[in-house]
Amino acid sequence: MEFKDPASYTDLSQGKIKHIDFHIHVDFSTRTFDIEAKYQLQGPVHGSLFLDSFRIDLKEARTNHKELEWEFDPEDEFLGQRLQLKGFVGDSTFTLKFRTSPEARALQWLSANQTVGGKYPFLFSQCQAIHARSIFPCQDSPSVRFTYSAEVEVPQELVAAMAAEQLEIQEGKHTTFLFKMPQPIPSYLFALAVGNLTFRELGPRTGIYAEPETIEAAAWEFAENETKIVEAEKLLGPYLWGRYDLLVLPPSFPYGGMENPRLTFLTPTAILGTRGHLSLITHELAHAWTGNLVTNATWQDFWLNEGWTTYAETRITEILEGTDSKDLHLAFNEKQLIAIMERVGMNSPQTCLKLPPEKDVDSFATSIPYYKGCFFLQECEYAVGRERFDEFIQKYMASFQFQSLTTEAFLDFLKAELPLVFEKVDVHKWIYEPALPEEWHRPKSHLYDEVQEALYDYEKGIKPTKEQIQNWHRYQVLSFLQGLPKKIPVEDCQYFDDILELEKRNDVAFFSFFYIICIMSGYEAILPRVEQFMGKIGRMLYVLPIVRAMIETDWSRDKVRPLFERVRDRHHQITVNAVEGLLKKAGL
C-alpha cells in the first residue's frame, strides 16, 4: 500500500536500511557519542539516499570503494535535517563516522546529583516518536525495520543496558558491552542507558535493572512479571523477543513507561510499595505484541499501537485483577477521554483515530488514540463475540508480525476476517470522524458509581470521611479527584490532602490531580510543593496538566514561566519542548 510518512524525510523508493553495526563511545565529559556505524541496505542503491538527522556532526561517509559526498538541508524545527548521501553506484553497504550533539533530543545526560545514589552520572535515550535521528542518521519512520549489533564503550565503573540481547562484557581502559538485536525493529525502538546499574533476576525470562539503592524495592514491586507474560501470551500469542526485563530510570523520565523491546524503560514513580501500579507494566508488556511486533506505519496510525495496547491491557487486567478492577479503569478512562476531547475541541481532527499529517508528532500524541482506540476495539469484540474476536487477535498478530501497517491496511484485514463488524459498528465514524459516536457500550462500574455517590454527597455539603475512603481502590481515589469540582474552598483542599493521605502514599498521579484542584481553587500556599514536584518529576502525563492549570488560572499565570525556568535544567528535552510549547501558545 502506498503511503507517505509526514514525520520523516525517508524516500522508500531509494531503498531500505536492513542492518546496522554500531560502535558507540559514550563520553560523559562532552555529553556526546562518537559513533561509527556500518549500514547494510536491502538492495543496491543508485544515486542518492535521504536520511533523517538532528544536529549530527558527520565526519566521514564512504562505501567499500569510495568516499560519499553529503549535504544537510536547513533544520526544520520538528523534523531536523534531511541528510542526503550522494554518489551511490549500486552499493548495498556504507559507513558513517559522526558525533552526536549535546542537544540530541533523544538523550538525557544526568549529573550524579540527579540520581538516587548521587555518585555516578546517568544517561538514557528516548527515541519515540522521532528522536532516533538525533543519535544516528536513519530512515526514522516506523515503516522501516532493521536489525543491529552494538559495541558500547563506557567509563569503567558504569554499566550499559540496551533494548537488545547482551552478549559479553570486555574490561579494559573503558568497559565495552556487546549487544545484538536479532529481531528487526523500527528506529523508535532503539534504546540505550548507562549508569550505576545492577541487575536482579525476577523469573526465568524476567529481570530488572536499577541503581543499587532502588533494586530491592523495584524487584519486590514487579515480582509478578513472569505471570503477566504467561497471561499475555494466552491472549496475543507467543512472546517472540526472548527476555523481558525492566530498567528503572531517574524520575525525570518523560513517560511512565517506554516499551523498548526486551527492556521496558520505567519511571521510578511506579514503585509505590503496593504493587499497585501494575497496569503500567501490563501496558508496556502488551506493546511487545501491539506496537513492537505489529507496528503503526506512520504516527498518524498511532492508535494501532496505543489503542490496541490499551485494549490488551484491559483484557490482561481483567484476568489478573478481576472484572471490577477492569470496569473501574474503563469508567475512569472514559471520563479522561471526554475531558481531553473537550480540551482539544470535540471537532478537532486530533479526536479522530486516524490522525492528521502533522510534523509535531510528540504534541499530537494525546491519550485519545489510547482510550478511543480501546473503546473502538471493544465495540468490534461486542459485534462478533469474545471467542471469535480472540481468534481474530491471534491471527492479526501472526499475519503481521515484524511488519508495519497503516489504518487502512488494518481495516482491509478486519473486513476480510470479520465482515460482521462492519454491519454492526460504524467503523468509518470511529476511525475518521471526530469525538465519539452517540451509541456504544459505555463502561459501567459499581466501584466508580460508589465514588460518584461520594461526589454527589460532597456537592450537597457532606464530605467523605477518612474511614470511608480508606479501602478505596487506587483508581477510586483517582476517580474521586477526577470528579471533584475544579474550584473548591481552600479548607477543603487541606481536608482532602489529609484524608487522602497524599504525602504518605506518595503517588504522583494523586499529586498531579490534587495540585490542579489546589491551583484552580486559589490555594496559593501549595506553590512550594508544586515547585518541588516540577523539579523532580518529568512524566508528562502528570506535569503538563499542572502547567496548563497554572496558565489558565489568574493568580498563577505569571508564576509558571519563572517556576519552570528554575527547574528546566532537570528535565529531558522532550519535556522542555512540550512545556515550552504550552507557554509559548499562552504568550508566556
Residue ranges binding Zn ion (CB under 5 A): 306, 309
Minimum distance from CB of 310 to Zn ion (Å)?
7
Query: Could you tell which of ligand BES, Zn ion, none binds residue 221, using a CB distance below 5 to 8 A set by kind?
Result: none
DSSP characters over 367-393: SHHHHHHHHHHHHHHHHH-HHHHHHHH
The Cα 452–Cα 388 span in angstroms is 35
Using the minimum distance from each CB to Zn ion, give the nearer residue, 301 or 306.
306
Residue with cell 581502559: 173
DSSP characters over 104-145: -TTEEEE-GGGSSSSSS-EEEE--TTTTGGGTS-B--STT-E
Query: Could you tell which of Zn ion, ligand BES, none binds residue 256, using a CB distance below 5 to 8 A set by kind?
Result: ligand BES
Query: Could you tell which of Zn ion, ligand BES, none binds residue 82, using a CB distance below 5 to 8 A set by kind?
Result: none
C-alpha grid cell, residue 135: 543519535
Q: Which stretch binds ligand BES (CB under 6 A): 10-18, 48-56, 283-291, 403-411?
A: 283-291
Q: Is 255 in the site for ligand BES (CB under 6 A)?
A: yes
Minimum distance from CB of 60 to Zn ion (Å)?
38
Minimum distance from CB of 304 to ligand BES (Å)?
12
Residues 6+ apart with CB under 8 A from 226: 202, 203, 204, 205, 206
C-alpha grid cell, residue 81: 535535517
Using the minimum distance from each CB to Zn ion, give the nearer residue, 405 or 425.
405
Among 115, 128, 196, 366, binds ligand BES (CB under 6 A): 128
The Cα 222–Cα 201 span in angstroms is 11
Among 287, 354, 473, 572, binds ligand BES (CB under 6 A): 287
Measured in whole angstroms, the distance separating CA 555 from the mean position of its chain's CA atoms is 33
Q: Is 301 in the site for ligand BES (CB under 6 A)?
A: no
Q: Is 280 in the site for ligand BES (CB under 6 A)?
A: yes
The Cα 182–Cα 243 span in angstroms is 13
Contact in structure between 179 and 164 (CB atoms under 8 Å): yes
Q: Is 107 in the site for ligand BES (CB under 6 A)?
A: no
Catalytic residue among 153, 211, 259, 284: 284
Contact in structure between 529 and 496 (CB atoms under 8 Å): no
Q: Is 261 in the site for ligand BES (CB under 6 A)?
A: no
The Cα 331–Cα 473 span in angstroms is 13
Minimum distance from CB of 257 to ligand BES (Å)?
5
> Which positions from 509 to 548 touch ligand BES by CB under 6 A, shown as an x/- string?
--------------------------------x-------
Closest CA to 285 of 266, 304, 267, 272: 266
The Cα 135–Cα 572 span in angstroms is 15
At 282, the amino acid letter reads T
Q: Which stretch binds ligand BES (CB under 6 A): 112-120, 198-206, 251-259, 330-338?
A: 251-259
At 504, the amino acid letter reads K
Using the minimum distance from each CB to ligand BES, give the nearer residue, 41 or 258.
258
Minimum distance from CB of 291 to ligand BES (Å)?
7
Q: Which stretch binds ligand BES (CB under 6 A): 48-56, 110-118, 160-168, 257-265?
A: 257-265
Using the minimum distance from each CB to ligand BES, give the nearer residue, 142 or 464.
142
Q: Which stretch binds ligand BES (CB under 6 A): 25-33, 164-172, 252-260, 469-477?
A: 252-260
Closest CA to 52 of 20, 88, 81, 23: 81
Q: Is 330 in the site for ligand BES (CB under 6 A)?
A: no
Measured in whole angstroms, the distance separating CA 68 from the mean position of its chain's CA atoms is 36
The Cα 445–Cα 326 span in angstroms is 9
Contact in structure between 18 and 146 (CB atoms under 8 Å): yes
Using the minimum distance from each CB to ligand BES, give the nearer residue, 16 or 105.
105
Q: Is 320 in the site for ligand BES (CB under 6 A)?
A: no
User: How many CA atoms, within 13 angstroms, populate the side-chain half-sphere of residue 554?
Assistant: 3
Using the minimum distance from each CB to Zn ion, give the nearer residue, 149 or 309.
309
Query: Could you tell which of Zn ion, ligand BES, none binds residue 145, using a CB distance below 5 to 8 A set by kind?
Result: none
Closest CA to 210 of 128, 115, 127: 115
Q: Which stretch binds ligand BES (CB under 6 A): 256-264, 332-340, 413-421, 499-507?
A: 256-264
Catalytic residue among 209, 370, 448, 523: 370
Using the minimum distance from each CB to Zn ion, give the nearer residue, 308 or 496.
308
462 class by beta-carbon count within 10 Å (0-12 exposed, 13-18 middle, 19+ buried):
exposed
Among 258, 393, 546, 550, binds ligand BES (CB under 6 A): 258
Query: Could you tell which of ligand BES, Zn ion, none binds residue 15, using a CB distance below 5 to 8 A set by kind?
Result: none
Query: Could you tell which of ligand BES, Zn ion, none binds residue 541, using a CB distance below 5 to 8 A set by kind?
Result: ligand BES
- Three state DSSP letters for 403-417: EEECHHHHHHHHHHH
C-alpha grid cell, residue 426: 460504524
- Answer yes or no: 284 catalytic: yes
Q: Is 129 in the site for ligand BES (CB under 6 A)?
A: yes
Neighbours of 129 (CB within 10 A): 19
At 231, the amino acid letter reads E
- What value, to the nearest 5°, has the Cα angle with vertex 448 and ends 445 and 450? 110
- Answer yes or no: 157 catalytic: no
Using the minimum distance from each CB to Zn ion, give the nearer residue, 7 or 484.
7
> Which positions from 354 to 373 touch ligand BES by CB under 6 A, shown as an x/- string?
-----------x--------
Closest CA to 64 of 45, 50, 82: 45
Contact in structure between 425 and 379 (CB atoms under 8 Å): yes
Using the minimum distance from each CB to ligand BES, give the nearer residue, 283 or 354.
283
1 class by beta-carbon count within 10 Å (0-12 exposed, 13-18 middle, 19+ buried):
exposed
The Cα 486–Cα 193 span in angstroms is 40
Using the minimum distance from each CB to ligand BES, give the nearer residue, 223 or 541.
541
Contact positions vs ligand BES (CB under 6 A): 128-129, 255-259, 280, 283-284, 287, 306, 365, 541
Q: Catalogue the active-site residues.
A: 284, 370
